[in-house]
Amino acid sequence: MLRDTTINMKRTKVKEVLQTEPSGQEVLVKGWVRTKRGNKYVTFIAVNDGSTINNIQVVADMTVFSEESLKEVTTGASVSVVGTLVQSQGKGQTVEIQARTVEVLGTADPETYPLQKKGHSLEFLREIAHLRPRTNTFGAVLRVRHAMAFAVHQYFNQKGFFYIHTPIITASDAEGAGEMFRVTTLDPVNPPKTETGEVDFSEDFFGKSTNLTVSGQLEGEVTAMALSEIYTFGPTFRAENSNTSRHLAEFWMIEPEMAFYELEDNMELAEDFLKYLVRYALDNCMDDLQFLNDMYDKELLPRLNFVVENDFQRLTYTEAIEVLKTAKQKFEYKVDWGTDLQSEHERYLVEKHFKKPVILTNYPKDIKSFYMKLNEDGKTVRAMDVLFPGIGEIIGGSQREESYEKLVTRMREMGVPEKEMWWFLDTRRFGTVPHSGFGLGFERLLLFVTGMGNIRDVIPFPRFPKSAEF
Ligand code: 4AD
Ligand code: MG
């Protein structure tokens, strides 16, 4: 509660007010007007302050208030209301506020306020990303996002994992995919050149070419070789030009890394972690999830419950290829052993064939990153991808190659600059141990938990090709 010095009262948030037993007490509520309606005798003002999806109904007796005094109380305006908390006469709410004073803090011109009416399309709301948090939908998404971030930390803290802050500016390409945003202070028009005519990055701020990180994994591995079980949770950046509903150029990733874990342990942790997060949402975000369920996707709550209650299907990449080859469904992309799975293939496995989340393991080495542990067959690596309904890949991870020789061989084969990675290779030179880890895309998790269809709608300010307005 925040004391308002002008009237010497403490503000109560709407969420708390709605849970309070009315006993004639006065309350001070502040927030934004969602709707105003009424007649000659009474005006009803629905006020929301973001603490919950539910509004508090403010009732103004028009024998006490003048039309004029409530003229600026319009949708989108901010108000400060003092009144008596009473049992509600109407349907849909238990308590309401019988207003004594209604002060407008900031007006919102009905002629120009874009959220005058309900029911705007998500596409339209994306164009006013600075105002969309004021809608029920984005309020719900942002509260769930907060709850999931909190649950991530709670989960790992309970398990004795340590939160490690890995750098955002790095000189390495952790995934070896080359989809990086450069970080430089060199003059873009006239950068210093070497004798051979290339840009001379030794003149750059860090004395070398640097970029925004695509993953905190490599630094995570380094710290896991001392603290045993760690996780990172930070922003990651990928300059892949994929304009899809599941890709962002800036997204958040949770990356646990565990010494002494083999692939089996890694899978167990991933499944337990995902179930914990979904259960946390069901236990703590029901108002928001119920709204999203009713509004967008009637299958949302059943789907969340299903994931919590059922074991994930585990199978190898090779087995999955067999399933896909004998599938009756026609795919746009052909499947053959050695090719990467497209999202249509992943979704077929999850949604049509097994009808539950799937963990695929042991992928061909050529379609996975250099750091994954090579299997005895010499052809596959100890990778694991977790595939979810409606999403496809939600987690990517692996057991890591702990042998110095084998890792160097893989780096050479895949053109990973081994000289610059000397510090990473040191982990394999000094006290190397079997270890594993994975990365959970935070926004992909939120897509699943909220049932939203587009990843641009589960992050406040999405970054994607040709878009960084807000
Ligand atoms: O599979 P990825 O590329 O794996 C890694 O980066 C490993 N270093 C993780 C690890 O083992 N520590 O990415 C991990 C996850 C994906 O499964 C996906 O959920 C998400 O990150 N992801 C994206 N989410 C949104 N937009 C993008 N462009 C994404 N790229 C990956
Ligand atoms: Mg992946």
| Ligand 1-lining residues (CB < 6 angstroms) | 174-175, 215, 217, 238, 240, 247-248, 251, 253, 255, 393-397, 437-439, 441, 443-444
Percent of the chain past pLDDT 70, that is, above it, reads 100
For residues 455-460, give the mean pLDDT.
98
1 falls in which pLDDT band (50, 70, 90)? low
38 falls in which pLDDT band (50, 70, 90)? very high
Specify the domain boundaries for CATH 3.30.930.10 within the chain.
132-179+214-457
CATH code: domain 14-106 is 2.40.50.140
Please determine, for residue 90, whether its predicted confidence score (pLDDT) is greater than 60. yes
- Residue of 444, 448, 455 to mutate, ligand 1, most atoms within 8 A of C-beta: 444
Answer with the residue of higher pLDDT: 176 or 112.
Answer: 112
Please determine, for residue 173, whether its predicted confidence score (pLDDT) is greater than 90. no
User: How far away, in angstroms, is 424 Cα from ligand 2 center?
Assistant: 21
* pLDDT confidence of residue 241: 77
Specify the domain boundaries for CATH 2.40.50.140 within the chain.
14-106
Q: Give the strand pairing for 380-388 and 358-364.
A: antiparallel
For residues 270-281, give the mean pLDDT.
98
118 falls in which pLDDT band (50, 70, 90)? confident
CATH code: domain 132-179+214-457 is 3.30.930.10
* Cα 10 to Cα 141: distance, rounded to the nearest angstrom: 28
Please determine, for residue 181, whether its predicted confidence score (pLDDT) is greater than 90. yes
Percent of the chain past pLDDT 90, that is, above it, reads 92
- Residue of 253, 266, 395 to mutate, ligand 1, most atoms within 8 A of C-beta: 253
Please state, in angstroms and as integers, the Cα–Cα distance from residue 417 to each residue in 173, 220, 325, 357, 367, following that order. 10, 19, 37, 36, 18
Answer with the residue of higher pLDDT: 7 or 165.
Answer: 165
Please determine, for residue 80, whether its predicted confidence score (pLDDT) is greater than 80. yes
Please determine, for residue 344, whether its predicted confidence score (pLDDT) is greater than 80. yes
Q: What is the pLDDT of residues 244-268, one digit of tens each?
A: 999 999 999 999 999 999 999 999 9
Please determine, for residue 359, whether its predicted confidence score (pLDDT) is greater than 80. yes
* pLDDT confidence of residue 233: 98
Q: What is the mean pLDDT of the chain?
A: 95
Q: Which ligand minimizes its atom distance to the CA of 274?
A: 1
Contact between 137 and 104 (Cβ < 8 Å): no
User: How far away, in angstroms, is 439 Cα from ligand 2 center?
Assistant: 8
Q: What is the pLDDT of residues 12-22, one digit of tens each?
A: 999 999 999 99
Beta carbons within 8 Å of 68's beta carbon, 6+ residues apart = none
Q: What is the pLDDT of residues 285-302, one digit of tens each?
A: 999 999 999 999 999 999
* pLDDT confidence of residue 93: 72
For residues 395-415, give the mean pLDDT.
97
For residues 143-160, give the mean pLDDT.
98
Ligand 1: atom nearest CA of 391 is: 19
Please give the model's pTM, rounded to 2 decimal places.
0.96
Q: What is the pLDDT of residues 228-241, one digit of tens each?
A: 999 999 999 999 87
Q: Which two tokens stand for residue 40?
A: 């000659």
